[in-house]
A and B are shown apart, each in its own frame.
Chain A
Amino acid sequence: MELAERFAVEQREISVAEFFEKNRHLMGFESGPRAMLTAVKEMVDNSLDACEQALILPDIKITIVRLDGGLFRVNVEDNGPGIADTAVPGVFGKLLYGSRFHSSRQSRGQQGMGVSAAVLYSQLTSGLPASVITSTSPEKPAKKYEVRVGIHHNEPDVLAREDGPSWKNTGTMVEIVLEATYVRGRQSVPAYLEATALVNPHTNITFCDPFGETTTYEKRSRVLPPVGQEVLPHPNGVELGTLLSMLESTRSERILSFLINEFSRLGRHRANRLCTEIGIDPLAPPHDIARDLNKARLLHKSMRAIRVSHPTPRALSPIGEDLLTESIRRVFEAEFIATATRQPFSCGGYPMVVETALAYGGELQEEGAMHLMRFANRVPLLYQSGACAITRAAESVAWKRYRLERARNERLPRGPLLLAVHIASSNVPFTSESKDALSSTPEVLREIELAIKDTARLLRAFLVRNEQGEEKRRKAAQLRAYNREVATALTALTGSNPDMLCTSLDDLVDAHLPAEEHGDGGHRHER
């Protein structure tokens, strides 16, 4: 008894910020390179979302400068609508603050802790606050802030607030100093930015790296992606807990109207039948059901099971095959690109769409395994590839059937190949809080695999045509080489002019075997 009370005294509430300070890996800052990446990602995601919501074509500049003592200065500048004075403290100084956490439309923001996490991390490692300059209107000067996250109470700590420079347009610039490591290669900032540019062809991205090199990804589309609309939850996908809380808090007076108004795809007739089938009075108040756990369970079960149409894809914003193709062509200069978009399907009740692009040849690297790029809601997934449904689906394809070969120890085929898979959903099922990998539910795996196969089939047709064309080209080249020898031999036998004979032979070969072939994706070098 005494012991327990003594323990009770020691227990106290921990603030969210304190918790995360002690659990950096949950925020994505567990290693030097990861810290760098997460910081950039949060800041860039913020900018992209802000621009898109304001219907502005994003123009984002990222600068990373190496400082002493293992510190880096990361600066992200955008042409968004700016952040209102009242919102600045919360956005940068308070964890888990934001509008996007609640929405049920596709949003890249669902996948992050928010930029305040980066601010917290930077202040912990460098001691310096985040520096923010933002302008919401070109008529007024921009505002300059220095913000920190208040650790103990998770309240923003605004150290400075003053007028800033006069900018021509609205926009935001955020700068933090943090301890991190800058790397290049697979899971790095440059890779992330390249992938981001790929799936956001409407953006301009400029990147200045710590070595002073600048890379620019220019936008290829002047069309903003469609903003995913808000949709009501789909009956198949609702969790019991969610249903209960909805029943509690709904304003509907009857369960029937509750069902019709707060869920998609349920009309009067269907909702009526749902109730009568399980013995619930359609006119009963929802609160009653909420309190009767058995009834709620029954309702939940039949909602999960009811066969209604697929969730509406209006919530989704896929990239679009043309843009994807163009993006890949510009960034990777592939010779052949095939894309496929599956019909939207229901994943746990939420609409989901799979888009894939398979690229081959051109400037893609010959050696090594296929380069797999994973995306969820226009955000590149760089970590935990092994646990991801996309990787699993890609590895399970029988690539041999599509004329591609796997090396012995590898799971993906070899060659100059790029496979980009994008999942767009209003609720992406991740395997863990770190949101690096897609959960491998059977329907997700199946859809991804089918989408990959759609593109693989097109690639196979291309490879076959290419081989045949290649065969003809090879044969023609061989004959042309023979021609010289034949001309020399004939000259020895007949005394005729060898050049004349050679020309005749070349003409003969050209007549029978055309020199070049016109096919899809252009053709490669010759001679």
Chain B
Amino acid sequence: MSDDGKTGNRRQSEQGKRDVIKQLEELGRGIETSLLSGDEPKMMVASRSLGNVEYDDSKGLLELGDGERERSYLHTGRSRKFLQTLLVAAQIKRLLLLGGPSLDIRQLYYTLKHTIIDTDENTFDSQVDSDKIIEDLEIMLGVLRERMGLVATPNGVLAGHMEVKDATGDILDFARMGSAGGSIPPSVEEERFEIRDCSADFVLVVEKYAVWNLLHQQRFWDKENCLLLTGKGQPARAERRLVKRLNDELGLPVYVFCDLDPWGYYIHSVYRQGSINLAFFSEWGGCPGARFIGLRVGDVKEFGIPRSSWISLSDGDHRRLEELRAYPWFKSRGWQDELDGMLEFGFKVEQDALVALSIDFTADEYLPAKLSGEDFL
């Protein structure tokens, strides 16, 4: 039992903390200097609107452009945001100095929320406000919130032959996590989620929990020797980060299995190129190497998915399809054909629907066929 890794990790995280604290202090000093020289204190904050989101084709990732916005204290409408940013920054520093447990971002919100004296206003009215400020700071400092002592509620579960040393020091064997599988913890950074051993051949990311659960009970991960993972719909950061780490660090191929609908296509793209909202996170959470396994339009005919399982595309679905067709990262020939195909088909199908063919169909027929066929998008 070597402690080197542990100590090394701890050292790393201590250093990381100190770096973050230094950066926060620098932010404060910059503002103080302006203030004391009589200038209006301001911050430059990256613009997070769609207009400032770019797709880097060579990297296969979504990125934030250079667009910046000035957040100045005296400007009507921005002063509150300015104040909130400083409050979050100061609190993060305090928490890091305290060295206590990581706080959930909701809890951070509560530590900061109070009524401003002499006013009827609260510092924060909803968690969304403080979440966005945290993201602004992540971009400003170039540091993930997990390294600032902040975490969010994770969503993902994973089953498969992988052994991990957790932040508490416990050893987690994801092949023996019971019927519910292993929860992906809020932070999967190396210092808190050390992958000690993994004998899986690939990663299968499943959109929905119900489908994941069925596959898990059928021990699909064992039979096919993969890591079976789900983010339960739209993935949170932790599972995206983990998928990227598995692909990057362990070189495991990643296949994504979603509903046949615009939403499913998009969820796959979140694991892959990143999300528009968190474009800056793509660097850490985007896995350009991931491939889309299905459900695809062609599968309907090929596997004979019954008519009763087809659902008509709604107006919302059509709108979303149009949006996807316009995104640069869906511009490849393959994707354009796929999207056109769905438009023409006019229906969507949930991945759950495969059980209509038979309970075991997904595990025994569909997935093996797709995996061996190697026809991925």
A, B assembled together: yes
Contacts of A477 in B (CB 8 A): 118-119
CB distance from B185 to the nearest CB of A (A): 29
Q: Which of A234-271 contact B (CB under 8 A)?
A: none
A492 to B41, CA, bound (A): 17
Q: Which of B168-218 contact A (CB under 8 A)?
A: none
**Given known A-B contacts A509-B74, A512-B74, A493 and B93 have beta carbons under 8 A apart:** yes
Judge if A496 is at the interface, Cβ distance under 8 Å: yes
**Given known A-B contacts A489-B89, A489-B90, A494 and B40 have beta carbons under 8 A apart:** no
The reply to whether B28 and A475 contact each other, CB–CB distance below 8 Å, is no
Residue of A nearest to B74 (CB): A512
Q: Which of A24-51 contact B (CB under 8 A)?
A: none
**Given known A-B contacts A479-B74, A482-B79, A512-B74, A493 and B40 have beta carbons under 8 A apart:** no
Residue of B nearest to A491 (CB): B90
CB distance from B86 to the nearest CB of A (A): 4
Q: Which of B36-85 contact A (CB under 8 A)?
A: 36, 38, 40-41, 73-74, 76, 79-80, 82-83
CB distance from A500 to the nearest CB of B (A): 9
A492 to B90, CA, bound (A): 6
The reply to whether A493 and B35 contact each other, CB–CB distance below 8 Å, is no
The reply to whether B83 and A482 contact each other, CB–CB distance below 8 Å, is yes
Q: Considering residues B32, B41, B118, which has the most beta carbons from chain A within 10 angstroms of its beta carbon?
A: B32
Contacts of B118 in A (CB 8 A): 477, 480-481
A206 to B92, CA, bound (A): 71
The reply to whether B76 and A475 contact each other, CB–CB distance below 8 Å, is yes
Judge if B94 is at the interface, Cβ distance under 8 Å: yes
Residue of A nearest to B37 (CB): A504
A492 to B95, CA, bound (A): 11
Residue of B nearest to A505 (CB): B35
**Given known A-B contacts A490-B32, A493-B29, A501-B32, A478 and B86 have beta carbons under 8 A apart:** no
A486 to B31, CA, bound (A): 10
The reply to whether B28 and A478 contact each other, CB–CB distance below 8 Å, is no
The reply to whether B79 and A479 contact each other, CB–CB distance below 8 Å, is yes
Contacts of B93 in A (CB 8 A): 492-493
Q: Considering residues A486, A496, A501, which has the most beta carbons from chain B within 10 angstroms of its beta carbon?
A: A486
The reply to whether B87 and A508 contact each other, CB–CB distance below 8 Å, is no
Judge if A329 is at the interface, Cβ distance under 8 Å: no
CB distance from A527 to the nearest CB of B (A): 9
A514 to B202, CA, bound (A): 66
Q: Which of A70-86 contact B (CB under 8 A)?
A: none
When A and B form their complex, what is the total count of cross-chain residue pairs whose Cβ atoms lie within 8 Å?
Answer: 78
Judge if A406 is at the interface, Cβ distance under 8 Å: no
A482 to B79, CA, bound (A): 9
**Given known A-B contacts A479-B74, A489-B86, A509-B74, A484 and B28 have beta carbons under 8 A apart:** no
The reply to whether B36 and A504 contact each other, CB–CB distance below 8 Å, is yes
Judge if A488 is at the interface, Cβ distance under 8 Å: yes
A513 to B123, CA, bound (A): 22
Interface size in chain B (residues, C-beta < 8 A): 32
Judge if A516 is at the interface, Cβ distance under 8 Å: no
A513 to B187, CA, bound (A): 45
CB distance from B373 to the nearest CB of A (A): 57
Judge if B116 is at the interface, Cβ distance under 8 Å: yes
- Which of A475, A485, A493, A507 interacts with B83 by CB under 8 Å? A485
Q: Which of A58-115 contact B (CB under 8 A)?
A: none
A494 to B73, CA, bound (A): 18
A518 to B86, CA, bound (A): 34
**Given known A-B contacts A494-B25, A494-B28, A494-B29, A482 and B89 have beta carbons under 8 A apart:** no
A208 to B232, CA, bound (A): 84
CB distance from B133 to the nearest CB of A (A): 12
Judge if B24 is at the interface, Cβ distance under 8 Å: yes
Contacts of A513 in B (CB 8 A): 74
A492 to B98, CA, bound (A): 13
Contacts of A509 in B (CB 8 A): 74
The reply to whether A493 and B38 contact each other, CB–CB distance below 8 Å, is no
Residue of B nearest to A484 (CB): B117
Contacts of A508 in B (CB 8 A): 35, 38, 40-41, 73-74
CB distance from B115 to the nearest CB of A (A): 10
A486 to B71, CA, bound (A): 14
The reply to whether B94 and A492 contact each other, CB–CB distance below 8 Å, is yes
Contacts of B90 in A (CB 8 A): 488-490, 492-493
Given contacts A479-B79, A504-B36, 17 further A-B contacts (CB under 8 A): A477-B119, A482-B83, A489-B86, A490-B86, A492-B28, A492-B91, A492-B93, A493-B25, A493-B27, A493-B28, A493-B90, A494-B32, A508-B35, A508-B40, A511-B38, A512-B74, A513-B74
5 pairs, A vs B, C-beta closer than 8 Å: A475-B76, A485-B116, A486-B82, A492-B91, A501-B35
